[in-house]
Structure 1
Amino acid sequence: MTNPTEGRRWLPHTTGRSALTCRFRCGNACAHEVANTSGNAYFCDVVEEALSRRGVLRAGVLGALVAGTARACADPVPAAEHEAGAPADGGLSFEPVPPNTEDALRVPDGYRSSVVVRWGDPVLPGAPAFDFDDQSAEAQGKQFGYNCDFVTMFPMGRDRALLWVNHEYTAESLMFRGYTNGTSATEEQIRIAMAAHGGSVVEIERAGATGRWQLVTKGARRYNRRITAHTPMRFSGPAAGGDLLRTAADPEGVRPVGMLNNCAGGTTPWGTVLTAEENIDQYFVNGRKVPEAQRSYIARYTIPSGVPADSRRFDRVDERFDLAKHPNEANRFGWIVEIDPFDPGSTPVKRTALGRFKHEAANTTLSRDGRLVVYMGDDSRHEYVYKYVSNDRYIQGFDRHNRTLLDEGTLYAARFTGPAGEWIRLVSGDRSYVEGMSAVEVLVHTRVAADRAGATKMDRPEDVERNPVTGGVYVALTNNTRRTPAEVDAANPRAANKHGHVLEIVERDGDAAATSFAWSLPLVCGDPKDPATYFAGYDKSKVSPISCPDNLAFDRDGNLWISTDGNALGANDGLFVMPVRGEERGHLRQFLSVPVGAETCGPMVTEDQLSVFVAVQHPGEVSGATPDRPASRWPDDRQPRPSVAVVWHEGGERIGS
């Protein structure tokens, strides 16, 4: 068979992502006006303040960028004085994968990879084998869903486990031949797309004595489960039952249906999934037809005022997505959803105490006194970083008590002030700390509450992870290419931040419940030859280029793993690893690269460090690509299929060593 991708150059979208990805993943969010019009400080301004207070413009760090200037948003605040934990070299030793544009999952010499599960693989009993040209909503509801993002594993002994995977969004023009938009799509195609959202639980097993894992294909597989846009759920927490969550179908405001655009996530100490609804705005139409008092809130969440030409048009098969008919339905999405992977009959819970926004991440830890802490980001330009702290303490083995911890606590937003910062209280239970807003309003319209509270505008806060070794909190700030001209000048060339950076937070006394912190920028991404980049002071001639950090993870040695989304350096996205302490701090190396058009999601390093899982999301999602002219044929040399892959060392060594 002739490969139609051969000899063709697929041009990237100006943001680093393809226009196709921008359309289907986030509804062309970067083409819209910035939703946050508050007067809150920009992170760039905070760095300027920090530099002026400290007098820190260190020679050799950003010399070419800051020469003759007093302002440099990209200049990192030194982190060494805030490091926690003993020095360590990270224990990493492998030859980095070079930047490339291959249509393959490429790993270092000595490593191997395989696909664990792909779009359309059977999950539930009775699911048919996948047939690209004979799809149905009934089949898709029993098969592995489309674009896979957050990945986590729940061990059941050494050689068996449950794998949870988010299905963030669908790219219908790659799923169906001849697709143009939701208006002309068949109703069955729309129903298939709805069934391809949500998440999957699948049983996996170790292949022999290696780090390779594979689907369990024989036996009961009693834990396997699909969550879709139609799965019954419930609300819990202070906003449950509030007027803003009530609809004609659910007058009590406690029984939402389905979850959408689930991106990153986390797990709880009691063994459940926390999955984050992100770009929920693009599924709705007719935002301008909600009651006048709600229109400004609808606009703050970038929900379309009318019916966009390239909309998915879920409203054609389910009228709740038409806000002219059901104005509160949009308020029922944008939450953190808790799911029990060990109970396939359990009802997923949307936890309102954690606020509503375009959620990225929901990573948990325990404070010094045992309270549950959840870190979250809002993945849009000029949005905020959040933290939730429970009122009560976690009690190991007391699950009935522990599951109340996500309903009773305090929600904070981050404010960065010079070299330090603080967590600003927004709401605690039924008490609002935001003037003019009730507690329910703060939780449903959290973006507006953070605006009024004075949180600091950030460059697309994505994953937020706490280092289990050092206690440092790391935030992936993917990029922000849409700063207005007024925010860009010759002295601040990184204001149009197309490569992103990673932020490090060290909370007071190392306590996750603390309300004050120090911060730094250990990684300012881009080509290491660019003087505007920074790798924690490490020799930049020895590091890999990196662009657009997205998801974060840590291994048991405390090394930071970074996956990318939208590489603006012209190469495929990948997975990178960087020690964050000791002499090797800042020595970033590329561990793998994903196929053409794909984004690297996950990632997850297993506890024994023999395997690393990555979700290869939207392979072949390149402008101009169609099922008849695919830009990628990964993983099966046919139509591209989003998949979860695992990488292991062929000699049985620990990953990275």
Structure 2
Amino acid sequence: MQTLPMLGQTHANRSAVTCHLKCDSACAHPAPNTSDAPSFREVASGQLDRRTLLAGASALALSATVPALTPQRAAAAPTGATAAARRAPRTPLAFDPIASVADTVDAVTVPDGYRWNTILRWGDPLFHTSPAFDPEHPDAEAQEEQFGYNNDYLDVMVTDRRGREALLVCNHEYTNRAIMFPPTEDDAAEAEVLRTLMAAHGMSVVDLRRGGKGRPWRYVRGGEHNRRITANTLFRLTGPAAGSALVRTAADPTGTRVKGTFGNCAGGTTPWGTVLSGEENFNGYFRADPAARGSKRYGLTDAASVYGWEAVDPRFDARQGDHVNEPHRFGYVVEVDPTDPTSTPRKHTAMGRFKHEGANVHIGRDGTVAAYMGDDERFDYLYKFVSRRKYRPGTSKAARRHNLELLTEGDLYVARFSGSQKPTNDNLGQGAWIPLTLDGRSMVPGFTVEEVLVYTRLAADVVKPTPMDRCEDVQPNPRTGKVYVACTNNDRRGTGTNPATDAANPRPANKNGHVIEITERHGDPGATSFAWDLFLVCGDTDQAGTYFGGYEGPVAPISCPDNVAFDSGGNLWISTDGQPSSIGKNDGLFRVPLVGDERGHVVQFLAVPTGAETCGPVIHDRDGSVFVAVQHPGEDGSWEEQVSFFPDYVAEGSRARRGAWRGPRPSVIQVTQD
């Protein structure tokens, strides 16, 4: 029976199982960041050592006191504007919001006039040769050809003009052995279970087809683009740290070929048609030397790993000389070309190594390419990568070859915030992007470029960025370029010896999270300074300190913002992870306008079943469709006593249908108008 360090320590109905499997019970341990962050008083008064701040980057000439900015705000419309101008942007997806759903309801709840259908479930066969789903007989080879477990990042990319064909791409973040497979009787059988769990991680690319626009999508078994990427798939390392001694192992003396990806959380789709995936909680998969450089800062320990893969693959025991660098080969942004199933996916070292929630790209007017990234750990940081080369528009082979190399070279920055702790309609804080690498050089004293990119957390600590309340999804609005940072929660903020509240993280013991709105200077994604605002301070409306973009009317209670997306009108959609623990409601998907009189008016579109998290929202509002990945339904169950029956809701004891199984299957679902 697995040990659950968070048992009895979680809020309300938050599952200790989720904490253990997803992030190695991170909240049961001290935060890895023990560096001394600057106080906001130090930032404002210029007390920081300018040499530490700039580290030789005289070209940036950043002052310790960030200059005041006056960007164009998109809040309330000016006085005298028409009522139409003050309203939120129109969107074809009209709905009557649902009420919050109690966290005991094992159902998907959608608005009246809408219905949901399942596109893909864990274990669905992807190839003509794939065996049928059979969890009673774990089989690693079978799982390599079946849809993986616990989908997180998701995109559905329509690929033909008639709107009848598409590519679905998603991550498979982690697994739950206790509810996936029956207990085993010997070590050999359990070893096969472990190998099957390895095959259930990673990513999937799947062809979709439908009868016409507005119709439900169906996946194509044996589709020409169908692909599984797992913990055993070969990847190529790119960027300045590729080939470094820090990433070489006995199995890969070149330091350029890495086996597998896992712990993949959110991601992003690039303007050139590839998909980015963030390797997040990789530390829980390894046993490591706790005295090795960076081990403590990255949460690596000598304890048995969460998944026990070291029993079937020695590379997960990094205490041994041959594998000591194996953890250095995880924690990157992964790039996959879904249009070419024969291509080798890549890990980009230039974008740094930390617990990447994801990465989202924005292209400036001059072709500047910026990728925004959050490090999803209590008191860790917000990052930006700016490519050395410019984006080339167009679909020519030359443009595509050029764009496929954009994330291999560039400059890496980390954010520092200053400003008022009180959110208002007209309050703008200031911020600076502090360089870690610049023009191929390290900007951090005592670190080489390779060390900055492999020990990114340690390097960032030196330049004193702002420790955040778990930056999860970080996405630029495609209409305005403003960047939205979902800080999901941090119940240790301001407690004990932990960092106190500050302007960008204003609440102590922050269990509900908040959303920050960033405006780059002059709208340039390559800028080194920015303005920012607290857009949402989440929770139930009767809780002290909540703030909803200045909106004064009733709003839907929302907690623990995680993934975000935008519709065609520029409205923000937020999926949540943790509402059962904070406000006693099932997690869901919410829409909130960003401008006009409705700015901050949060309404709820759907709720997922008991124990589940809402992931990877995709909004095709002109098509009348919304897609979400329903992750870890029924997490607290067991093989013998399942507590969710999503998505098939097969009656207990039923075996009437071939493949029917009495238990939950993480799935991708589509919601459409009737």
TM-score by length of 1: 0.87
Choose which of 144, 147, 152 in structure 2 pairs with 1:144: 147
One of 240, 247, 256 as aligned partner of 1:238: 240
1:532 corresponds to: 545
Counterpart-to-counterpart distance in 2, 1:115 and 1:27: 30
Report how far residue 156 of structure 1 moved: 1.5
- From 80, 83, 88, give the equivalent of 2:74: 83
Query: Given the alignment, which residue of 191, 194, 200 partners 2:198?
Result: 194
| Number of the residue aligned with 1:153 | 156
Bigger drift between 200-209 and 353-362 goes to 200-209
| Most deviating of 610-619 and 153-162 | 153-162
> 230-239 vs 486-495, which deviates more?
486-495
Alignment partner, residue 115 of structure 2: 112
Does the alignment pair 1:312 with 2:317? no
The DSSP-based 3-state class of the residue aligned with 1:614 is strand
Tell me which residue corresponds to 2:602: 588
Corresponding position of 1:361: 358
Which blocks of at least 5 consecutive residues in structure 1 are unaligned?
Answer: 1-9, 51-76, 651-657
Letter in 2 for 1:354: M
- CA deviations 1:210-252 (Å, max 9, x no partner) are 24222124xx511100000000111111110001000000011
Paired with 2:298 and 2:112, the residues of 1 have a C-alpha distance of 45
Amino acid at match of 1:210: G
Q: Cα RMSD over matched residues?
A: 2.7
Q: Which moved more, 1:231-240 or 1:630-639?
A: 630-639
Show the counterpart of 1:372.
369
1:485 aligns with 2:496: yes
CA drift at 1:155: 1.8
1:262 aligns with 2:257: no
Distance (Å, rounded) in 2 between the aligned partners of 1:15 and 1:363: 33
Q: Is the 8 A contact 1:173 1:179 kept in 2?
A: no
1:178 lines up with 2:183 in the alignment: yes
**Higher relative contact order (Cα pairs below 8 Å, separated by 6+ residues):** 1
Residue 570 (1) aligns with residue 584 (2): yes
The one-letter code of the counterpart of 1:626 is S
Given residue 341 of structure 2, which amino acid in structure 1 is its aligned partner?
A: P
Would the aligned equivalents of 1:278 and 1:357 in 2 still touch at CA under 8 Å?
yes
Counterpart-to-counterpart distance in 2, 1:643 and 1:29: 26
Q: Secondary structure at the match of 1:152?
A: strand
8 A Cα contact 2:43 2:418, kept in partner: no
In the TM superposition, 1:111-130 aligns within 5 A as 111-130=114-133
Does the C-alpha gap of structure 1 residues 384 and 239 become closer, same or farther in structure 2, counting only changes over 3 Å?
A: same
The CA deviation string for residues 557-600 of structure 1, in whole angstroms up to 9 with x for no partner, is: 10000000011100100000100001110110010000000000
Deviation digits for residues 263-319 of structure 1 (CA, Å, limit 9, x no counterpart): 00011211111111000000001333xxx5xx24011000123325xx211111110
Match of 1:248 in 2: 250
Distance 1:404 1:349, change over 3 A: same
Structure 2 residue 22 is matched with structure 1 residue 17: no
% identical equivalent positions: 51
Indicate the residue corresponding to 1:226 in structure 2. Answer: 228
The aligned counterpart of 1:65 is none
State the match for 2:453 in structure 1: 443
| Structure-2 change in CA distance of 1:449 and 1:493 (3 Å) | closer
Aligned-partner SS, 1:485: coil
Q: Structure 1's 617 and 12: CA in aligned 2 closer, same or farther, altered over 3 A?
A: farther
Q: Where in structure 1 do 4 or more consecutive aligned residues deviate above 6 Å?
A: 46-50, 77-81, 182-185, 488-493
CA distance in 1, matches of 2:543, 2:189: 46
Indicate which of 595, 612, 618 corresponds to 2:626: 612
- CA pair 149-372 structure 1, distance change in 2 beyond 3 A: same
Q: Aligned partner of 2:613: which letter?
A: E
The match for 2:325 among 325, 328, 331 is 328
Q: Secondary structure at the match of 1:479?
A: coil
> Structure 2 unaligned runs (5+)?
1-6, 46-67, 78-84, 420-428, 650-661
State the Cα distance separating 1:452 from its structure 2 match. 0.7
**Cα distance change, pair 494–111 in 1 and its aligned pair in 2 (3 A):** same
Matched residue count: 600
**Do the aligned residues in 1 keep the contact of 2:12 with 2:584 (CA within 8 Å)?**
no
**1:322 Cα shift?**
0.5
Structural mapping, 1:439-478, within 5 Å: 439-478=449-488
Which of 547, 551, 563 is the aligned partner of 1:551?
563
C-alpha distance in 2 between matches for 1:429 and 1:596 = 49
Whether the aligned pair in 1 keeps the contact of 2:573 and 2:592 (CA below 8 Å) is: yes
Partners of 1:239 and 1:15 lie apart in 2 by 43
Shift of 1:529: 1.4
Q: Partner amino acid for 2:572?
A: L
User: SS at 2:284's partner residue?
Assistant: helix
For structure 1, which segment, 473-482 or 95-104, has the greater mean C-alpha deviation from structure 2 after superposition? 95-104
2:484 partner amino acid: Y
CA shift, 1:13, in A, is: 3.5
Moved more, 388-397 or 189-198: 388-397
CA distance in 1, matches of 2:516, 2:188: 44
Kindly state the Cα deviation for residue 206 of structure 1 after the two structures are TM-superposed. Answer: 2.5
Shift of 1:489: 9.0
Instruction: Look up the SS of the partner of 2:96 in the other structure.
Output: coil
| 8 Å Cα contact 2:288-2:295 kept in structure 1 | no
